[in-house]
Amino acid sequence: MKTSLISAERLKKEVKTTDFLIFDASWYMPTEKRDTRAEYLCGHLPGAKFFDIDGLSSHPNELPHMLAEKGSFEKQLRTLGLKQGQTVVVYDTAGIFSAPRAWWMLKVFGISDVRVLDGGLPAWVATGEELEVGLQPVVEGDVSLISPGREVSGVDAILHNIKYGDRQIIDARGAARFTGEEADPRAGVSPGHIPGSINLPFAKLLTQTGHLRQESELREAFSVVGIDLSRPLTASCGSGVTAAILILALTQLGHNDLNLYDGSWAEWGALPHTEKAQGPA
């Protein structure tokens, strides 16, 4: 099975012989007030381009970083230099946090070989390799995308699932946000969770150094909360970013009936007609 991860040591070797396009896809919650573009300019992997998760998303849209329209995304990826058939590596400065969202965005539009740098920028720095600064020159690419399909879920599909229970819904948010004890950070979004969903905070899938856990540990993490890995799964979170960590982990385990609720709780919690459950699952 082809892995969706690449280690820093392996990237260090393969980058010399493979035509990778490397993206810094760092993103943080707005409350953290991080300027990830400025941080990119101060230091990034050699040759890396900045993948602006918000800028490469749907505009105008009242929901945060929803998938863009195919033509718009294709044009922007070409501007970033992506060539047809090229292997892409995405990373972030946290270890594994926002890079899986970029990985998922590229995969659902038909980019077949996309890998997440396990451990992110800290893992690369730990190999002793230097960083580059400033903007990198770009030669326009020629990539062609396909339209997303069943890998993306929406409100109607979630409402159908609540009624018929075809899929398990996993919520990657922290426990307090899931139960409703903690208010949502976005104005106008109610607390709680999608009825019938199961809480698995994304941090439980990661090591303290920001690497994805080993497969046996991942299986145990899903099993402990009652996830049946033989059944179809839908991932959700606050706004579609950390849900992609669940998708990445499940992909590593060989699961192939997965989708991500792109609007996630930012959409569900703001809609007047959707049921919001509170308390433990």
How does DSSP assign 106-126, residue by residue? HHHTT---EEEETTHHHHHHH
Residue 238 confidence class, pLDDT cut points 50, 70, 90 = very high
Query: 243-252 and 99-108 helices cross at what angle (nearest 10)?
Result: 70
In 3D, which of 102, 106, 115 has the Cα closest to residue 212? Answer: 115
124 pLDDT higher than 70? yes
Q: pLDDT value at position 174?
A: 97
CATH superfamily ID and name for 5-126: Rhodanese-like domain (3.40.250.10)
Indicate whether 67 pLDDT > 60. yes
Residues of the chain with CATH 3.40.250.10: 5-126, 152-268
- What is the arithmetic mean of pLDDT over 34-42? 97
Span 25-37, average pLDDT:
94
Q: What is the pLDDT of residues 135-160, one digit of tens each?
A: 988 999 999 999 999 999 999 999 99
Q: Is the pLDDT of residue 268 over 70?
A: yes
Whether the per-residue pLDDT at 1 is higher than 60: the answer is: no
- Of all residues in the chain, the percent with pLDDT exceeding 90 is 94
Query: Quick check: 2 pLDDT over 70?
Result: no
pLDDT in tens, 169-201: 999 999 999 999 999 999 999 999 999 999 999
Superfamily for 152-268? Answer: Rhodanese-like domain (3.40.250.10)
Q: Which pLDDT does position 280 carry in this prediction? A: 87
Residues tagged active-site? 237
